[in-house]
Structure 1
Amino acid sequence: MKYLRLLYLFIAAFILSWLLQEVGMILPWLFGSMIATVIFYRIYGPVTGFKKWMGDLGIFIIGIEIGTTFTKETVLDMQNDVFNIVLLSLMVIALSLLLAKFFMKLTGCTYESAVLATIPGALSQMIIMAEEEKRADLLLVTLTQMSRIVLVVIFVPFIASMFSGAPPGIPEDAAPDFTSVLAPEMLILAAGAVLLIFIMKFLKFPVPVMIAPMISILTWNLTTDQIFSLNVEFMYFAQILFGIRIGLQISSLINRLNRRMVISMLIQNVLLILGTMLIVILFILFTEHNFNDLFLSAAPGGIGQIIIVAVETGANIAMISSYHIFRIFFILLVVAPVINIILSRNRTRRRRDGEET
């Protein structure tokens, strides 16, 4: 019965996504599946048949699409952009930490909760740290991080589309479609990507389901001349899987919200997005990149959602993914340990103060 219900959900998501595409909606396959899932959940209750691997499959496909954009030419171009990647990432993270103080006043939460709730792009790591930090509100951290994903999916496409000069969709002249160049030796790609996922999970790398296929395709492009792009149908399918996953997450959290929490999270996340826009406007004065590419590179959301927006708005996927991948690694390898040290010192100081009194 649960798989029959899941089938109905997929059908509803497909139909609504197709209708939204026909009327010219931005990101119709992502929004359509999200909206259909929320409505379906409210009417029929939890959809237990949707497994984690289904959402991961959508992320895997997005990872492949990212990899196809990394050719020898784009990699050489990005070497000249390293300084901008580092500086822009640092500015967005600094903005997040400044807003953490404001968020603390809005919600009345602890400093630990505010910091862990505000850092963008490392949801899993921040939630793990919130679980380990006794003074952190796990519910607030989780809901704030999750709500940012929702707001990014809602607002960023509209902002990006206003400044996009390229037609939506995957460029047809960039490379031949995958199905037109499919060859037996490409099985090496699939095997290599799957093997790399297990290796990266063992080494605790961030987002292995997306980064592993990206690295596999990138290596293929740099070592062979058989470049290709994904058929647009694959991206539609990935967006449906991803949209259902986000829709289920939204549906499961709605009943746990209160008015103050909703208003505070909305203000904080909107300010983060608007602040990012201001940073990008300043950056444009000193770089040759256009607003859409830079804004999507800096946008405080998950790489999966941002790449889908980039595909739909005809943006520079290779550039945008490189910015986000750097920020993910920087947050996980530098920012998260530093925050952990700061929180540990705070715990030690409170313990010492308590002993003195």
Structure 2
Amino acid sequence: MEKGVVLLQKSWIVLRTFLITAAAGFLFDQLGIFLPWLLGPMGSLLLLRQYTKLEFEWPRIYRQVGLIFLGIQIGSSFTKTSIELMWFDFPLMVLMTFSIVGVALLLSYLFMKMSGESIATSVLGSLPGGLSQMVLLSEEVKSANSTIVTLMQTFRIFVVVTVVPFLTAWIPKGSHLNEGTIAVLPTFNVMHFVLAVLLGTFFFVAMKKIHFPLPELMAPILSMAIVQFVTDHPVVEVPAIVLILSQIFVGAHLGLQLEKVRDQLSIRLFSAIVLTNLALIAFSGLIAYILTNIHPVNTFLDFFISAAPGGIAEMSITALETGADLSTVTSFHLFRIFFILLIAGPVMTYVLKKWLKA
């Protein structure tokens, strides 16, 4: 009997969380605020947790479902033509990634001086390589504070998600010269859909085993891109209401995640995180301007969102809302994630452990 009451109470808290976040998203949408269905839930939970005694709960499965559908939508943007054009963008990916990572490492020194944290904590917290992976790497270095690394990575997403969308609202959209099309199928192709599901399941299981970040998002992106590249046909289109719900699910998770680290944030640490991230965002604008002049096939907006040091899910949502080239933004972020996770992160961890004898 008691278990039933507890389960009922928990269900009500989850339902209340959803109703509040959905209402906040709707309000933001009516007010014309950018990214309403992501920022509304995130902002409402932050404020209500801070100024009220209401309890909120958001099961992890909801965030995972949201990421899966976002991954499907992102993957559907990869046409055969856009994937082929990625080879021409490869030198630009290298230039952008090396530039962003290099400046992030320089800013980690500024962060260390401002915050008083160790060099290991500052470096691993400053690298835009994904929350979970950077935290795991920080646990291998004794002089690194995993809690501060978590806070830095989490709060950077918050800064980027709030600042970058605001800036993109003032950036001219321009036009794309490389837009490719996929032949439209007269009917839904079950075989292609089943193939994408099987391939996505395989990628998901493989990514979970190697602890790759965001497998719920990455697996459908890769499976959709591969199937559409091979068949040159669209697999499935995600309805608008599902995309809205997906953004609510992710936004609610971000709001509660940020609340957990809020109490650990001192004014000194807050100032260091905000200043270094604003500097990195400003540099993202600079490198985007340079790449636009080198490669005018893509717009400044495409390159700016591609360079922004936010999470791939949040930046992809921003690209969706602004009309930026989704396949370009996703491919640049994917390249940076792979570079940091497979090369820069492990190398920096090794160097820090040897240098600091940690």
- TM-score, normalised to structure 1, is 0.90
Q: 2:330 aligns with which of 321, 343, 351?
A: 321
1:45 CA drift (Å) = 4.3
Kept in 2, the 8 Å contact 1:164–1:314? The answer is no
Q: 2:292 aligns with which of 281, 284, 301?
A: 284
The worse-fitting range, judged by mean Cα deviation, of 141-150 and 156-165 is: 156-165
- Partner deviation per Cα, 1:23-63 (whole Å, 9 max, x = no partner): 21100100111122224434244434x22121111111111
In the alignment, residue 209 of structure 1 is paired with which amino acid?
A: E
- Partner deviation per Cα, 1:116-140 (whole Å, 9 max, x = no partner): 1110132212111222222112222
- Cα separation, partners in 2 of 1:143 and 1:181, compared to 1, 3 Å: farther
1:344 aligns with 2:348: no
Aligned ranges for residues 141-156 of structure 1 at < 5 Å? Answer: 141-156=149-164
Aligned ranges for residues 264-275 of structure 1 at < 5 Å? Answer: 264-275=272-283
Kept in 1, the 8 Å contact 2:83–2:229? The answer is no
The worse-fitting range, judged by mean Cα deviation, of 329-338 and 256-265 is: 256-265
Distance 1:97 1:45 in 2: 40
Distance 2:70 2:171 in 1: 23
Distance 1:231 1:333 in 2: 35
Q: 1:88 aligns with which of 96, 101, 106?
A: 96
Q: 2:220 aligns with which of 208, 213, 227?
A: 213
Taking only aligned residues, the RMSD between alpha carbons, in angstroms, comes to: 2.3
Q: 2:201 aligns with which of 194, 197, 205?
A: 194
- TM-score, normalised to structure 2, is 0.89
**Which residue number in structure 1 is paired with residue 118 of structure 2?**
110
In the alignment, residue 83 of structure 2 is paired with which amino acid?
A: V
1:15 aligns with 2:23: yes
SS at match of 2:356: helix
1:282 CA drift (Å) = 2.3
1:256 aligns with 2:264: yes
Q: Percent identity?
A: 31
Distance 1:132 1:323 in 2: 28
1:340 CA drift (Å) = 1.5
Kept in 2, the 8 Å contact 1:176–1:229? The answer is no
Distance 1:122 1:259 in 2: 24
Distance 1:52 1:174 in 2: 36
- Cα separation, partners in 2 of 1:4 and 1:175, compared to 1, 3 Å: farther
**Which residue number in structure 2 is paired with residue 204 of structure 1?**
211
SS at match of 2:169: helix
Distance 1:164 1:306 in 2: 17
Q: 2:310 aligns with which of 301, 305, 328?
A: 301
Unmatched runs of 5 consecutive residues or more in structure 2: 1-8
**Which residue number in structure 1 is paired with residue 3 of structure 2?**
none
**Which residue number in structure 2 is paired with residue 226 of structure 1?**
233
- Partner deviation per Cα, 1:50-88 (whole Å, 9 max, x = no partner): 221211111111111111011111112222111001111
In the alignment, residue 22 of structure 2 is paired with which amino acid?
A: F
Aligned ranges for residues 114-193 of structure 1 at < 5 Å? Answer: 114-165=122-173, 182=188, 184-185=190-191, 186-193=193-200
Q: When the two structures are aligned, how many residues end up with a matched partner?
A: 343
1:35 aligns with 2:36: no
